[in-house]
A and B are shown apart, each in its own frame.
Chain A
Amino acid sequence: MNRKALIVDDEELVRNYVRRALAGRGWAVTEAANGAEALRLAVPGAFDAMVCDLKMPDLRGEEVIKRARQACPAMKIVAITGSVSDIKAPLAPGVQADGFLIKPFGIDEIRDLLEKLTRI
């Protein structure tokens, strides 16, 4: 059975390569361009993992992660960011992402991390 991932980033370029990198490893990937869309899509059982940017125009990534975590406690969450100053945000209480990648990251980094997190 295909594992399912949600990639949330306002940057189309990033969504594009993350989707294709994961698709190459048998993931079914859905894209969301902002936080509101992500929260609408993230319902229990819909995704095994979510990759979420921390800086988006509508909602802060931390907020999206926090709410998605409440809605889908079983979903693994990876925070991604281009800003090193965000480095502590995914570790904040209530947020606690399962993984964290700093842009620019390569296709193997995101594949390996997601596979490690969703291995049963």
Chain B
Amino acid sequence: MTSKANILVVDDEPQIAEMISSALQLYGYAVQTAMDGEQGVARVGAGKFDLAIMDIQMPGMDGITALGEMKKLDPEIEVIIATGHGTMGTAIESLRKGAFDYLHKPFEIKELLKVVERALEKRKFNDITRAIFSTVRPEEQLRVIIDSVTRILKAEESLLVLPGRDGNPYIAVSEGLEDPGAAASRLEMCSRIMDAPEETSKSAVLSENPAGDRRFAGIAGLDKLKSSLFLPLREDNKPVGLIAISRLEDEAYFTEDDLQRARIFASLVGLALRNSSLYRQLQETQGQLIQAEKMSALGQLAGGLAHEINNPLSGILGLTQLVMENTDKAGQNYADLKDIEKAVFRCKKIIVSLLSFSRQEKAHLEPVSLNEVVEETLTLCARQMELQRIKINRQLAPGLPMVNADFQQLMQVFLNLFTNARDAMPEGGELTVSTSLDGAGGRPAVAAAVSDTGGGISPEIAGRLFDPFFTTKAVGKGTGLGLSVCLGIINRHNGGIRAANRPGGGAAFTINLPAL
């Protein structure tokens, strides 16, 4: 039989140590004893204990000193101080040093057991806290949260519901809900709770006999539920999700104690979620910094490189053309020279686009209508798109605020995005350009999305899309600088650019620019 917990009893009076340990063993705990402070500390150093019950007045190392030593060896250990000559002073000192609680000798066994249980419960919470905070990876974290809540509240089924992108809540993780019908009915219960603002502002909502609860009227399949507990999750004081846990028919109702634990748990989860969202923000910022660093390093390199390369390139071009003048236009030599000439122009194009984004030139900013930029760029590309059987779908929101921008540079951005979309749809397809007001970031912004019906972005390349010289196009078809140029321009406009796959297939690029 596995014992409930490992407890160390430290007392210089053998009869008392014996009495305490027999009582605890009777209740299923595994107990070891030590005769003084030194021995107790040595035991903690050698083995794993959940809890120590320790006398204060002992020969040699006293209880308070031993407590400090034990906490140094194992910061997780809980210590209950027992004292016969206790004054309020020693008790407070022991608590200050990290004791969980203290007991006055002589104490009743019942009293001892109660304190032991409370100490162990706190330890369990510590374990859970550590587990929840141990990971910032969202999927893992949600799994840990659901596992922990199921365990500490001895529930049979549990689920964590988050609002989806489409606004409809979905089950992020669940436990004991393999049956799709049951899962659907629990999700519906959660939706009702989330829709009722007065419910989500509470720290916990209890429903005894959910099948008869008016809040869940009309939901089928709740008969087996004895008692359900809903814990709204809040981040920055805004509701971000809901945990629902239930006990089934032959289990006990949730008690007031359970409710109290659930509340503590929910607040821990809120903190953990906040933690990981901060971590995500940090990672994003870090990513942007790395990208900016890459661009500026490349910019410096490009400036120097362009000069070094353009000199010999100019020689190749000039000499090639001189030889061409003296070559029979019908021969193979002339054709070969023509290819060399073309290759030089290709190099020139690469260098020019490299410089155009690495140059830290200031944009010429003026109030610009994003819709107008889109329309003008589309006019430029319309013929090309038509030739490749690409249908252009405009969804431009009317009456958008202006943005402070360089018209030419923004045209360059859209031109690059349209070209990429076109190249992603060699067999034809649909190019959708939409603009909208975007208030998601707090400040009003104007957003534009360019999406195609091509092959989309594979996960392997998602992280490298904006890297200079990264291209998926055939050799000679792309310089790998198009999206780097876009990123550079959008950054200079204090905006953002994101790439994603569309649910129905194809890629979507979204640009945000601060509104005027």
Interface residues in chain A, defined as those with a beta carbon under 8 Å from any beta carbon in chain B: 11, 13-14, 16-18, 20-21, 24, 55, 81-85, 102-108
Contacts and interface: CB of A to CB of B under 8 A. Distances in A.
Contact of B359 (A11, A14, A81, A84): A84
Contacts of B321: 17, 21, 106-108
B315 A16 contact: yes
Interface string B337-353: 00000001001100010
B325 A24 contact: yes
Top 10 A-B pairs ranked by shortest CB distance?
Answer: A82-B310, A17-B318, A13-B315, A103-B314, A104-B314, A83-B307, A103-B310, A104-B313, A104-B317, A82-B307
A21 B313 contact: no
Contacts of B359: 84-85
A20 B326 CA distance: 12
24 contacts: A11-B314, A14-B314, A14-B318, A16-B315, A17-B314, A17-B321, A21-B321, A24-B322, A82-B306, A82-B307, A82-B308, A82-B311, A82-B313, A83-B303, A84-B359, A102-B310, A103-B310, A103-B311, A103-B313, A104-B317, A106-B317, A106-B318, A107-B322, A107-B325
A84 B313 contact: no
A18 B321 CA distance: 11
Interface of B: 303, 306-319, 321-322, 325, 344, 347-348, 352, 355, 359
Nearest to B344: A104
Contacts of A104: 310, 313-318, 344, 347-348
A50 B242 CA distance: 78
B414 to A, nearest CB: 23
A82 B322 contact: no
B355 to A, nearest CB: 5
B314 A21 contact: no
Given A84-B359, A104-B317, A106-B317, A17 B322 contact: yes
A11 B311 contact: yes
Nearest to B309: A82
A82 B312 CA distance: 10
Nearest to B348: A104
Nearest to B361: A85
Contacts of B319: 13, 16-17
A116 B484 CA distance: 39
Contacts of A18: 318
Given A13-B312, A84-B306, A21 B355 contact: no
Nearest to B303: A85
A60 B356 CA distance: 24
A107 B318 contact: yes
Contacts of B322: 17, 20-21, 24, 107
Nearest to B347: A104
Contacts of A55: 307
A14 B311 contact: yes
A81 B344 CA distance: 16
B318 A21 contact: yes
Nearest to B318: A17
A84 B355 contact: yes
A90 to B, nearest CB: 15
A105 B311 CA distance: 10
A106 B314 CA distance: 7
B448 to A, nearest CB: 29
Contacts of B318: 14, 17-18, 21, 104-107
A105 B325 contact: no
B479 to A, nearest CB: 16
